[in-house]
């Protein structure tokens, strides 16, 4: 986290939320910073995975969190999360304002772990239940019931149902009596 190259890259791309997060790196049980060969192991042993916005409002960290089994903490004020008409994001993730990606976030998550462990566990259980919606290759559930393909088809069906009906075609019969 103290790597000057990481800080410089974040400054160049104006990633203020990521720079704020680097200030938390020295706190107990916090792992932030550059690449590590232990990334999957760290995620797999984590209750909360911080998901800051990427170069756009989107971030692949959300999906990494889901597959690692940790609760995504979404730090992107403008992101529109996928399949939001199918999955209830509030039931398995925490959305936190980017401007408050400070010690406030750390204190909030620590408070949840210390004083509401049953809530944290319920979020993690829900993560395990919804990740099938994001797994293109998963075989945990029937893909016709829970998969990205099913979600896309449901979304398209919803859009089709809300589209205006086409006008009836003009009559093609010859007019009698002319």
pLDDT digits (tens, 9 = 90+) for 22-39: 788 888 888 876 778 888
What is the C-alpha to C-alpha distance for residues 16 and 14, in angstroms, rounded to an integer? 6
Average pLDDT over residues 103-125: 96
- Start-to-end CA distance of the chain, whole Å, equals 86
* Residue 65: per-residue pLDDT: 93
- What pTM was estimated for this model as a whole? 0.78
């Amino acid at each position: 986290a103290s790597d000057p190259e990481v800080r410089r890259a974040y400054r160049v791309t104006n990633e203020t939320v990521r720079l704020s997060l680097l200030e938390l790196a020295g706190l107990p049980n916090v792992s932030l910073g550059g690449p590590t060969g232990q990334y999957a192991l760290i995620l797999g042993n984590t209750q909360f995975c911080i998901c800051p916005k990427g170069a756009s409002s989107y971030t692949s960290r959300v999906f990494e969190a889901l597959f690692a089994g940790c609760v995504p903490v979404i730090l992107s004020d403008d992101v529109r999360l996928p399949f939001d008409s199918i999955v209830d994001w509030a039931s398995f993730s925490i959305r936190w304002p980017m401007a408050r990606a400070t010690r406030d976030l750390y204190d909030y998550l620590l408070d949840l772990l210390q004083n509401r462990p049953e809530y944290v566990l319920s979020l993690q259980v829900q993560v395990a239940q919804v990740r099938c919606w994001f797994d293109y290759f998963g075989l945990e559930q029937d893909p016709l019931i829970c998969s990205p393909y099913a979600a896309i088809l449901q979304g398209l069906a919803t859009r089709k149902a809300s589209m205006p009906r086409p006008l009836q075609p003009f009559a093609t019969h010859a007019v009698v009596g002319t």
